[in-house]
Chain A
Amino acid sequence: MDTMAAIKQTFFQECEEQLAELENGLLAIERQEGDLETINAVFRAVHSIKGGAGAFGLDDLVRFAHTFETTLDLMRSNELEITPGLVKLMLRSADGLADLVRFSRDGADLDRARIAQLNGELSRAASGEAAAAHPEPAAQAEPEPAFEGEPTADENGFTPIRFSLDDLLGGGMPAFDEAPAAGGLTVRFKPKPELYAKANDAVVLLRELRRLGETRIACDTSDVPLLTELDPEGAYLSWSVDLDPAIEESAVREIFEFVVFDCDIDIASQPAPAVEALPELPEPAPVAEARPQPAAAPAPAPVVEASNVVQLAPEREMTPTETLIKAGQTPQPAAAGQQTTIRVDLDRVDRLIDLVGELVINQSMLAQRVTEAGIARLSEVAVGLDDLEHLTREIQDSVMAIRAQPVRPIFQRMSRVVREVADMTGKSVRLVTEGEGCEVDKTVIERLADPLTHMIRNAIDHGLEKPEDRVAAGKPEQGIVRMTAAHRSGRVIIEVSDDGAGINRARVREIAVKKGLVEANAQLSDGEIDDLIFHPGFSTANSISDVSGRGVGMDVVKRSIQALGGRISISSKPGRGTVFTLSLPLTLAVLDGMVVTVSGQTLVVPLTAIVETLQPKKQDVHGLGDASRVIAIRGSFIPLIDIGRELGYREEEADPLNSVAIMVESENRSQSALLVDGIIGQQQVVIKSLETNYGHVFGVAAATILGDGRVAVILDVDAVVAGSRADAGRSDISNRKRNAA
């Protein structure tokens, strides 16, 4: 039972991939970038899900996927014209399929009415168009026998079935010279009744085969009993298919991947030596005339012959093929150079990352010891150590790369959010994405899903105007939500922007005043007003809408981004739209920092926060009030934060003249100057959690281990700045500091 569960889990993992592929393909078709291969990929995705679902007895899923697949199949064979409306339906159906998969996996909520409705729409789309297109396949398909039961069903009457099938086969047989060259694969395929019971269909599989390249398909009808003995749910037909030599076995196996247990299938190449094998066959007499002399027959002949047998002696035609298969070479291995992936337990990767982190620390400790021992830089030991350092860095980078994944899946997920929110709000929206290939740590990606969903919802619900307002403002009716990812100086920048009306600053201000967030007469810059929307509990929507009014505001988004070591900022132009910019670390495991000393302690300040460092001059430092000081830099006054006091390392104030000021920018883009005793240098440090063995400490983001083996704390710049802003006498901050300890 446990292995079953494991297989099932794999199936659902693959489903997610198939769903992504499906959606991706459909979106490409929607953008009119899709070709036949795209439609094929889309079809395969649905088909794979159906196949797997059938194996696990997920009937709802099978049924829906089947309808979906049928419609897609018509689309693929050009029997159904691809219209924007149809693609929209396909996209919604893809969402429905995703819901069904999730429902089957963990019993998530399922809107059965919606599924049923989609099912109906799909069937209607399929039958409506298919009726008109039906005569076509009969006319065009000379190499493909008409396998479909329905067209013949009413003509059959009481005519013996054997007769009519033979007839069909005879008509469908290609002439000899059309046969693929020898050396290709021969597939012998005999479905069991289970195959049909699981909603698979031999026609579909054979069509898939034909799509790979030139094929010769022959149907063996010899097992078909008389009508009186025929079990309507039985399986009597089998096929033998000769493939073009260019067709890879792996591609063939892929087609039959989900039915291997429900059919007898043999795939073998048709080698030239098979000629020798043929004469040893017993039987069948009529074949002899058609068979060329073994000695005289070079490569091309046997293939033709093997299928020729079908025509001449349907009762025994499979025997030669069987022999061919036995005589055949071992199947070709999958093409070399194919990109292969493995699934690895995340814990193993993380363990590896931890170990490499320790290796890096150890290496730098060793380097420090060597330096301390006074060994010359050019000595063999030092040179060897340099090599070791390069190696360790390289291992570290490679290991980190294991966790790095493109942001594509999360961007894809957003296109669904866009569709749903657009539907709910009645707005017409197009999502434009860029830079999906950008790679970020897996954890970062996972934890981005919720904030991004919320931002997209906001962008559509609050950002974009109603269609009529857009038209009135001279904009196209369809709004655009743009989502881009890019690497910039060791961080990944994700922007979510809309071309809506921009932030209504007057309204934001009004609400902020009403809620007591700001004084009525406060002087606020545009940026400060925009930042108000990140304030806890702030929501500009006039009514709590279904879409974004779920009690979470932008403050939640901000907090989750900060928890990732990221920053969020907003910029808005009236009438032009709003841009949210996320700046995120590429990995949560290492950080570039500036190593500084404060009161004899070594601290690390994240480099991303630092703007510049400078030596304060006496005339630039001014007292402000009883406890605060500011520093004048290029004409503006910037608050001076004494880190030693702020972290409680000392009571007395630092002398600014014997200190270094580090200018930092916190997430609301306000600047502060942090006063430290000295700067040791700049270094990449491995982030170690304090929470694992201790707990959160106010003002500390994490810890690291320096080259000397000592632990150093990494400063949480935003928290320190926020803490110093709050009046020292106010109880909540001092409590917070104490509680955090």
Chain B
Amino acid sequence: MMHVSEKDMSANSELIAFRLGGQEFCVDIMSVRDIRGWTQTTPLPHSPEYVKGVINLRGSVLPVIDLAARLGFKATEPTARHVIIVTQVNNQSVGLLVEAVSDILTINAGAIQPTPDVASDLARLFMRGVLAIEGRMISLISLDCVLPKSAESAGTVH
């Protein structure tokens, strides 16, 4: 499971990996605040399809993003087995709806390869890089763009 580069032992970071639409993704564990089971959300009017709505997270209102839909896969039909990864992005808390958490990885910063030059806009928008671990490819998600921004809401996704 561990993949440690020989040259730099100090800059290790931990990532949480999960599966979406048959591919593997991960986010930096430092931005994860909580992982909780799926609870029914309250939909928000006029929101993009990938915004599942909001839930009550210990008294604050937390938006939940269907990460699969956000990345351009088929929208998730959430069940009790799905989980919400609560992340902290630019002082905002955002819940990411994913199928299940599969792994916790410890990697060296040098192991992150740049995103291959592919045609998909979404891939380039949301991937900070890719990791090759034991023959699997895991994409590191950049959380900055996950929440809809009013400027790019309609155009890029719908």
A interface list, Cβ under 8 A from B: 354, 357-358, 361, 601-602, 646-649, 688-690, 692-695, 697-700, 703, 705, 709-713, 735, 737-741
Query: Is B92 located at the chain interface by the 8 A CB criterion?
Result: yes
Q: Cβ of B48: which chain A residues have Cβ within 8 Å of it? A: 741
A561 to chain B, nearest CB (A): 24
CA distance A699 to B55 in the complex (A): 19
Classify the interface of chain A: helix, strand, loop or mixed: mixed
The answer to whether B153 touches A741, judged by C-beta atoms less than 8 angstroms apart, is: yes
Given known A648-B45, A695-B147, A740-B150, contact A357–B94 (CB-CB < 8 A): no
Q: Cβ of A690: which chain B residues have Cβ within 8 Å of it? A: 44, 54, 61
Query: Is B42 located at the chain interface by the 8 A CB criterion?
Result: yes
**Neighbour of B47 across the interface among A601, A646, A741, CB < 8 A:** A741
**Neighbour of A710 across the interface among B42, B59, B94, B147, CB < 8 A:** B42
CA distance A697 to B51 in the complex (A): 12
CA distance A648 to B46 in the complex (A): 6
Q: Cβ of B53: which chain A residues have Cβ within 8 Å of it? A: 711
* Nearest neighbor of A686 in chain B, beta-carbon distance: B59
The answer to whether B92 touches A713, judged by C-beta atoms less than 8 angstroms apart, is: no
CA distance A692 to B57 in the complex (A): 13
Q: Cβ of A354: which chain B residues have Cβ within 8 Å of it? A: 59
* Nearest neighbor of A716 in chain B, beta-carbon distance: B45
The answer to whether A689 touches B61, judged by C-beta atoms less than 8 angstroms apart, is: yes
**Neighbour of A739 across the interface among B40, B42, B58, B154, CB < 8 A:** B154
The answer to whether B94 touches A693, judged by C-beta atoms less than 8 angstroms apart, is: yes
* Nearest neighbor of B58 in chain A, beta-carbon distance: A358
The answer to whether B61 touches A692, judged by C-beta atoms less than 8 angstroms apart, is: yes
Given known A710-B56, A711-B54, A739-B154, contact A694–B46 (CB-CB < 8 A): no
**Neighbour of A738 across the interface among B43, B58, B154, CB < 8 A:** B154
The answer to whether A700 touches B45, judged by C-beta atoms less than 8 angstroms apart, is: yes
CA distance A357 to B60 in the complex (A): 10
CA distance A689 to B62 in the complex (A): 10
Query: Besides A646-B45, A710-B40, A741-B47, 4 other CB < 8 A contacts?
Result: A688-B61, A693-B62, A697-B45, A711-B56
Q: Cβ of A735: which chain B residues have Cβ within 8 Å of it? A: 154
Counting residue pairs across A and B whose Cβ atoms lie within 8 Å, the total is 93
The answer to whether A737 touches B56, judged by C-beta atoms less than 8 angstroms apart, is: no
B interface list, Cβ under 8 A from A: 40-48, 51, 53-56, 58-63, 92-94, 147-148, 150-151, 153-154
**Neighbour of B56 across the interface among A694, A709, A740, CB < 8 A:** A709
A423 to chain B, nearest CB (A): 45
Most B Cβ at <10 Å: residue of A647, A688, A699, A739: A739
CA distance A15 to B153 in the complex (A): 49
Given known A690-B54, A705-B56, A741-B51, contact A647–B42 (CB-CB < 8 A): no
* Nearest neighbor of B150 in chain A, beta-carbon distance: A739
CA distance A697 to B94 in the complex (A): 16
A703 to chain B, nearest CB (A): 5
The answer to whether B59 touches A357, judged by C-beta atoms less than 8 angstroms apart, is: yes
* Nearest neighbor of B154 in chain A, beta-carbon distance: A738
The answer to whether A737 touches B46, judged by C-beta atoms less than 8 angstroms apart, is: yes
Given known A699-B45, A705-B56, contact A693–B51 (CB-CB < 8 A): no
B92 to chain A, nearest CB (A): 5
**Neighbour of A693 across the interface among B40, B41, B93, CB < 8 A:** B93
CA distance A357 to B59 in the complex (A): 8
Given known A703-B54, A711-B54, A738-B153, contact A697–B61 (CB-CB < 8 A): no
* Nearest neighbor of A357 in chain B, beta-carbon distance: B59
B34 to chain A, nearest CB (A): 13
* Nearest neighbor of B44 in chain A, beta-carbon distance: A697
* Nearest neighbor of A706 in chain B, beta-carbon distance: B56
The answer to whether B46 touches A647, judged by C-beta atoms less than 8 angstroms apart, is: yes
The answer to whether B62 touches A649, judged by C-beta atoms less than 8 angstroms apart, is: no
The answer to whether B45 touches A694, judged by C-beta atoms less than 8 angstroms apart, is: no
* Nearest neighbor of B54 in chain A, beta-carbon distance: A711
Q: Cβ of A698: which chain B residues have Cβ within 8 Å of it? A: 45-46
